Amino acid sequence: MSINKLNALTVDVEDYFHVAAFEQQITPADWQHMTPRVDRNTRVLLDQFDRNNAKATFFFLGWVAERFPDLVKEVQRRGHEVASHGFSHTRVHQQTQAEFRDDVVKAKDILEQLTGEAVIGYRAPSFSINKQSEWAFEILKDIGHVYSSSTYPIKHDLYGVPDWPQQPYMRPEGIWEIPMPTLTMLGRQLPIAGGGYFRLMPYWLSSTLISKFLREDRMPYMFYFHPWEVDPEQPRVEGAGQKSKFRHYVNLDKMEHKLDRLLTQFNWGSLGQVYQQTLKNL
Over the chain, what is the mean pLDDT? 91
- pLDDT one-digit tens code per residue, 157-187: 455 566 778 889 999 999 999 999 988 877 7
268: alpha, beta or left? (left if phi > 0; alpha if psi -120 to 50): beta
Q: What pLDDT sits at residue 21?
A: 84
- The 3-state DSSP class for residue 255 equals helix
Q: Which residues partner with 59 through β-bridges?
A: 12, 83
Query: Helices (DSSP H) in the chain: which residue ranges?
Result: 28-31, 38-51, 62-67, 69-77, 97-115, 135-142, 195-200, 203-216, 242-249, 252-265, 271-274, 276-280
- pLDDT one-digit tens code per residue, 64-121: 999 999 999 999 999 999 999 999 999 999 999 999 999 999 999 999 999 999 999 9
Task: Give me the percent of the chain exceeding a pLDDT of 70.
Answer: 94
Q: Output the CA–CA distances (angstroms, integers) from residue 281 to 7, 146, 206, 275, in the order listed.
A: 20, 11, 33, 10
Of the two residues 219 and 113, the one the predictor is more confident about is 113
Nearest to 164, CA basis, from 185, 133, 138: 133
Confidence of residue 20 (pLDDT cuts 50, 70, 90): confident
- pLDDT one-digit tens code per residue, 179-197: 999 888 777 778 889 988 8
Say if CB 84 and CB 104 are below 8 A apart: yes
Q: What pLDDT sits at residue 280?
A: 65
Residue 282 has pLDDT above 50, yes or no: no
Say if CB 62 and CB 87 are below 8 A apart: yes
- CATH label, 6-280, candidates 3.20.20.370, 3.10.20.30, 3.40.50.150, 2.60.120.10: 3.20.20.370
Cα separation of the two ends of the chain: 29
Say if CB 19 and CB 128 are below 8 A apart: no
Residue 253 has pLDDT above 90, yes or no: yes
Residue 46 has pLDDT above 90, yes or no: yes
Q: What pLDDT sits at residue 89?
A: 93
Residue 1 has pLDDT above 50, yes or no: no
Q: How many CB atoms lie within 10 A of CB 224?
A: 22
